[in-house]
A and B are shown apart, each in its own frame.
Chain A
Amino acid sequence: MPTSTTSLDPRSGFSRRDFLRGSGAVATAAALQAQSAAAAEQTQGVAILAGEQTIELSVNGKTVAVKAEPRTTLLDVLRYQLDLTGAKPICNDGSSGGATILVDGKPMQANLMLALQAVGKKIETVESLAGDAVPKAFVACDAQQCGFCTPGFVVATRAFLNMKPNATEEEIRQGLNGNLCRCGTYANIVHAALMVVKGGNNG
């Protein structure tokens, strides 16, 4: 279709040269390269890691050394090696938001990220938000029952309100759909998020 309108020649304005950039160092790959130079098998200069590695992660402002196989998820490292059990293993498919953490400030699910991918990234878990306005508002609004989903919701709410500090109630109801709760605390989570917005101590 709109080829005629937009005169799209798939190759117009577009050259192969555009795509041959960037062998500059980037976080994970470079850090892994440096950290595991000894262990790494190299295929044409690409680090290929197999078996257990010792890697350094930045978690809640501290650099920590942990052990990880390639298959080890970031969630397993947090829970089993660092005893940061706020992020919960609730789903296998990202539908629950139970394992939500902040990666370079963005909400992501630690069960869907391999630990090796987290090297060079700033990881923040719910435990780092203890003094934040969001968990305080959750307590004030009783936005928890059994509480198992609560840490994931707290992190998601923090991340959402960072993006939309003046969110309306409708936006809150749209913005927090990535998390599941079984006890049904949603009504009070809406109240808690609104309290943070109105409290002005957001972001």
Chain B
Amino acid sequence: MAEVVLSWPTKDKATAIGKRVKRLDGPEKSNGTAKYTYDINLKNQLIAVALGCPHAHCKIKSLDVAPALKVPGVVHAEPLRKSGDEIEWQGEMLAVIAAETEAAAREGVAAIAVEYELLPVFVEEDNLAAAEKAGRTSKGGGKVQTEKEPGDNDDEDEFADKEIARLLKEAAYTVEGHYGIDPITHCCLEPHGSTVEWKDGKLMVHLSTQNVSGTDDGFAKDLNITADDVTVHCDYIGGGFGSKFAPDYWGIAAARISKATGRPVKFMLQRDQELKLGGSRPSGYLHVKLGANKDGVVTVWDSQHHGSAGATNPGGISHTVIPYVFTPKNYRRLATNIKTNHAQARAWRAPNHPQACAMTQTALDDLAMKMGADSLDIFLKNLGTDDAPGVSGAKPSVYKAEMEIGAELIGWKKLWHPHGKGAAKGSVVEGLGLAIHTWGGGANQSSCTVRVHPDGGVETFCGTQDLGVGTRTVLALVLAECFGLPYEAIKLTIGNSKLPISGPSGGSTTVGGICESHRRAGLDAFAQIAALVGKKLAVDPATLEAVGGRVQVIGNPAKSVSWKEACTLIGMKPLEVKGNYDRGTKSPLSNSQVGGVQFAHVAVDKETGVIKLKKFVAVQDMGLVVAPQQAESQIYGSVIMGIAYSLFEQRLTDPKTGAILNAELKDYKLARIGDIGEIVVNLYEPESERSRGVIGLGEPPVIAPGAAISNAVCNALGVRVPTLPMTPQRVLAALKAKA
């Protein structure tokens, strides 16, 4: 059999990949029959609800669940914490009640008797001085780099101090400013949770998870069984965004209760628990002095930032992405972590990047404002060239080409004006801004089993999951391409831990991974079928192609057999082929490192501080585009999430009590359909990028909206609203500070 050559068809030859198609699971999602974890009802199941700690920092003096057992309908009560335990954030689960109905379980929770000893609360993650005073800070690392090296006798810190001071002094322009971005939560609409059944020593877990293949051992370890006794299942997940990788202690508790009661248990977080415990994104607040030459190219960057990732996670925003994308020749960047009374942060789409972008590309835009220059020019000048790049991630030429496309789409030439100098219509002013981003997105580990049946049917089995990306649709397109079939003909089985292992969906790695495994399996299977057909037609199998439901000599339908006929040659048993890709393996099918550019056009009401998006343009490279319609959807979604964290969204903590004040959805403000304006998506796919192969898209487009929108607001007002979200309160405060 001929060696399989790993490749994708060229754009003109492709019959499935790159085509606009309907999402395969669209009908189930739209007519309500798609079953999410929350929707799985097992016979005789109990509903579990947990008591969340009302205090942000306290010691449990006593905890008695017995009164809950007296509530009608309550079947099981178990403490999760014990007296003497210190609780470090509000909402932490202290005990769990399982009952016949959710209402009874809630009533049971209310009956639990707990006494608390209150301890000092610290939640001011934006206040470095207060954090230092409270002893809540730790070093978050940093780096200094200067073009000039210190001499042998120089103290390095002292040298850096002097060198940076010199560079700032010699700079043609300097900018000094504060920039920040508040914490937000993942706010999955389907909260974290599971429906579990422990039966005959085996555990079946329906889990809302981004990690179908990787959570069984987590359950096994904590429950003293082996991973082969655990099955994790997830057909549909109602949002994850980086927060649903593990069983979590509430998943383990559900399993324990099922074992204890002999009944299935559904344990989904309550809405407020989802916002308090289910995941949050670290905050960041940065102070910077930067210097630039007369052309507006940044020559020196000196920043410190701080922020919090909760009580137990020391990691705030990494200094390694400061300043963001742009790589000035001289820089010093220092990070300080603050420990606050919040639950531990979790990975949120593109960890570190959105915050870094919002805290630093705003400073670059302020340089443009200070120079009275066009922001687009300043961004372009700082890109450098492909030979001497001033940016990381993608090549300067990619960003540049994307900037040109985006500028055209947003109408930059026509609409741009110097910061604060646009024509006002009454109290309303408009402005434009841009920002750029990058992300890795290399393929994750993935394996699959593809079966081609003698009747022509094609099936794949893969332990991946569909977070809403369109995983199913992508898989079907890839196999359809391999076999020359319509994509609807491919049968898919995913979302179960007993299937061939596929990596967790995190870091934009899923589509790359599953394309690798499936293209490999598909090409392999076709090669085997081609060998059989070649024999029958007496032609070299290497000259055969699958197209339009036939296997034919390339470009010659006269010499062909139908796909069905070809498959009869397989024999009695289906042809089964495994596809596998190990993370990090160099491959022509997938790649990493993309660049994207985004533009925002906003209107701001100076009297109320209300901001409205008029238009947003996202130009995005992702290598080869497999499913353009779903890719566009993901970019729309990223932009909309970006609008939310730019204008509306923030986790609000009461400074006095440490209570999360907006853990219900009426208070936790997300963007709505009336808030988004016109969004234009441009898939940047020239042959130079397409030929690199598939690269993940989940993270990149969610990174730049914060800076792009902030820059547009600054362009409109002529004053920076330094911290996201830019609420009316903050806009008015910024205007007042200027006046």
Whether B337 is near chain A, meaning CB under 8 Å from some CB there, is: no
Partner of B190, one of A88, A151, A180: A88
26 A–B contacts from the bound complex (CB under 8 Å): A85-B32, A85-B39, A85-B41, A87-B32, A90-B271, A92-B271, A93-B665, A94-B666, A136-B30, A139-B26, A142-B26, A142-B629, A142-B632, A144-B30, A145-B469, A146-B237, A146-B238, A146-B467, A154-B30, A181-B189, A182-B239, A182-B670, A184-B638, A186-B636, A186-B640, A190-B673
- B30 to A173, Cβ gap below 8 A? no
Residue of B33, B241, B672 contacting most chain A CB atoms (<10 Å) = B672
Min distance, Cβ A140 to any Cβ of chain B, angstroms:
6
Whether A33 is near chain B, meaning CB under 8 Å from some CB there, is: no
Note all chain A residues with C-beta closer than 8 A to B632. Answer: 142
Note all chain B residues with C-beta closer than 8 A to A86. Answer: 31-33
B interface residues, Cβ below 8 angstroms from A: 22-23, 25-36, 38-39, 41, 101-103, 187-190, 236-241, 271, 467-469, 629-630, 632-634, 636-641, 644, 664-666, 670-674, 676, 679
Partner of A151, one of B30, B102, B187, B630: B30
- A135 to B31, Cβ gap below 8 A? yes
Min distance, Cβ A172 to any Cβ of chain B, angstroms:
8
Interface string of A147-171 (1 = CB under 8 A from B): 1111100100000000000000000
- B103 to A127, Cβ gap below 8 A? no
Interface string of A125-137 (1 = CB under 8 A from B): 1110110000110
Cα separation A146 to B671 with both chains bound (whole Å): 17
Among A47-73, those with CB < 8 Å from B are 69, 71-72
- B666 to A95, Cβ gap below 8 A? yes
Cα separation A149 to B30 with both chains bound (whole Å): 9
- A71 to B103, Cβ gap below 8 A? yes
- A182 to B41, Cβ gap below 8 A? no
- A189 to B236, Cβ gap below 8 A? no
Interface string of A73-103 (1 = CB under 8 A from B): 0001001100111111111111110100000
Partner of A139, one of B27, B640, B671: B27
- A147 to B468, Cβ gap below 8 A? yes
Min distance, Cβ B108 to any Cβ of chain A, angstroms:
14
Residue of A127, A144, A150, A187 contacting most chain B CB atoms (<10 Å) = A187
Interface residues in A, total, Cβ within 8 A: 59
Whether A12 is near chain B, meaning CB under 8 Å from some CB there, is: no
Cα separation A3 to B469 with both chains bound (whole Å): 61
- B38 to A186, Cβ gap below 8 A? no
Cα separation A74 to B696 with both chains bound (whole Å): 41
Min distance, Cβ B296 to any Cβ of chain A, angstroms:
34
Cα separation A189 to B187 with both chains bound (whole Å): 20
Note all chain A residues with C-beta closer than 8 A to B467. Answer: 145-146
- A148 to B670, Cβ gap below 8 A? no
Cα separation A80 to B41 with both chains bound (whole Å): 7
Q: Given A148-B36, A148-B239: A90 and B666 within 8 A (CB)?
A: no
Cα separation A126 to B27 with both chains bound (whole Å): 12
Min distance, Cβ B100 to any Cβ of chain A, angstroms:
10
Note all chain A residues with C-beta closer than 8 A to B644. Answer: 184
Cα separation A91 to B662 with both chains bound (whole Å): 12
- B673 to A179, Cβ gap below 8 A? yes
Note all chain A residues with C-beta closer than 8 A to B665. Answer: 90-93, 95-96, 180
Beyond A130-B31, A147-B34, A185-B637, list 9 extra A-B contacts (CB 8 Å).
Answer: A85-B38, A87-B32, A92-B271, A95-B665, A98-B189, A127-B31, A142-B23, A142-B26, A147-B238
Whether A183 is near chain B, meaning CB under 8 Å from some CB there, is: yes
Cα separation A176 to B32 with both chains bound (whole Å): 18
Residue of B27, B31, B103, B271 contacting most chain A CB atoms (<10 Å) = B31
Q: Which residue of A lies closest to B29 (CB)?
A: A147
Note all chain A residues with C-beta closer than 8 A to B36. Answer: 85, 88, 148
Min distance, Cβ A59 to any Cβ of chain B, angstroms:
13
Whether A44 is near chain B, meaning CB under 8 Å from some CB there, is: no
Min distance, Cβ A108 to any Cβ of chain B, angstroms:
16
